[in-house]
Amino acid sequence: MSKNRPASEKLFEIAESQQGYFTYKQALSAGYYRDAAHFYTKSGEWLREKRGIYRLARFPASDRPDLVLWSLWSTDRGGKVQGVYSYQTALSLYAITDANPAKLHITVPPKFRKFNSPPKGIVFHHAELKEGEINKQQGYFVTTPLKTLQDMFSAQLMDANEAKLAAKQAVQLGIMTPDEADKVSSLKND
C-alpha cells in the first residue's frame, strides 16, 4: 500500500478482503486518527458490530457475516486472527457432509485468551495448527478438508467409513487431492 493513498482507500482494501468488516486497529493502520470510530459511526459511514469491530455501511451484506465477525473477534493484541473454523463448521463450509452445526467450532491456540467473555454459540478447540492445515477464505480461516477429517476422526465424531466417504466427496468437489484422500483412507476404527 502506498503511503500517499488516502486512509479511506486503504481501509476499503482491508474491508473488501473481509466482507466489509474491519477492526479499529486496522482503521488506525490505514491512517485514520484515534477518534475516527466515534465520528464515522455517528455519521453512519461505519456500523459498529462488536467492540472494536466495524463494517463499512455501504458494503453489501454477506451471506455469513458471523464467520468474519467472530474471526476478527479472535484477534490477539497485535491484530493477528487466532481463530480458525474447524470440525463440524469446516465440514459444513466445504459441504462434504450434511453437517449443519448449531454452534460454530473454532480452533484457537492453547494460550488463547480474551478479556471479554466468549460468545454463546461458539465451541473452542485448542491446538497449534500448522500453516499447511489452514485455508484462507474471504475474511476468515478454515482448516483444510484433510485436517478437518483427521480432527473429526480423532475426536470420535466420525468413524473411518464416514471420513472416507467425506474424503471421496471432497476429491469430487476438487477441494482435496487423491493423495490426501489416501491419508484419510488409512484411518482405522479401534
Looking at the structure, do residues 75 and 165 belong to the same domain, yes or no? yes
> Is 1 part of any domain?
no
Nearest alpha-carbon partner for 135 in 89, 104, 102: 89
Better pLDDT: 117 or 158 = 158
pLDDT at 2: 42
Domain count, the chain: 2
Residues 33 and 104 occupy one common structural domain: no
Q: Where are the alpha helices (DSSP H) in 44-188?
A: 65-73, 87-94, 145-154, 160-173, 178-185
Collapsed DSSP state (helix, strand, coil) of residue 107: strand
According to the model, what pLDDT value does residue 190 have?
Answer: 62
35 phi and psi angles, rounded to 5 deg: -90, 10
Residues 49-72: pLDDT tens digits?
Answer: 998 999 999 999 888 899 999 999
Residues 101 and 27 in one domain: no
Quote the domain boundaries for residue 181.
Answer: 65-185
First to last CA, the chain: 53
The DSSP letter of residue 131 is G
Take residue 29 and report the three cell numbers written for it.
493502520
Distance CA 154, CA 119 (A): 26
Same domain, yes or no: 85 and 149? yes
Question: CA 160 from chain center: how many Å?
Answer: 27
Q: What is the greatest pairwise CA distance in the chain?
A: 61
Q: Residue range 129-154: average pLDDT?
A: 96
From residue 178, how far is each of 131, 146, 174 by CA, in Å?
20, 11, 9
% of the chain surpassing 90 pLDDT: 81
| Mean pLDDT, all residues of the chain | 92
**Which pLDDT does position 63 carry in this prediction?**
84
Q: What is the pLDDT of residue 4?
A: 52
Q: What is the pLDDT of residue 120?
A: 87
Instruction: Looking at the structure, tell me whether residues 102 and 173 fall in a common domain.
Output: yes
pLDDT digit string (tens) for 73-112?
999 988 999 999 999 999 999 999 998 999 999 999 999 9
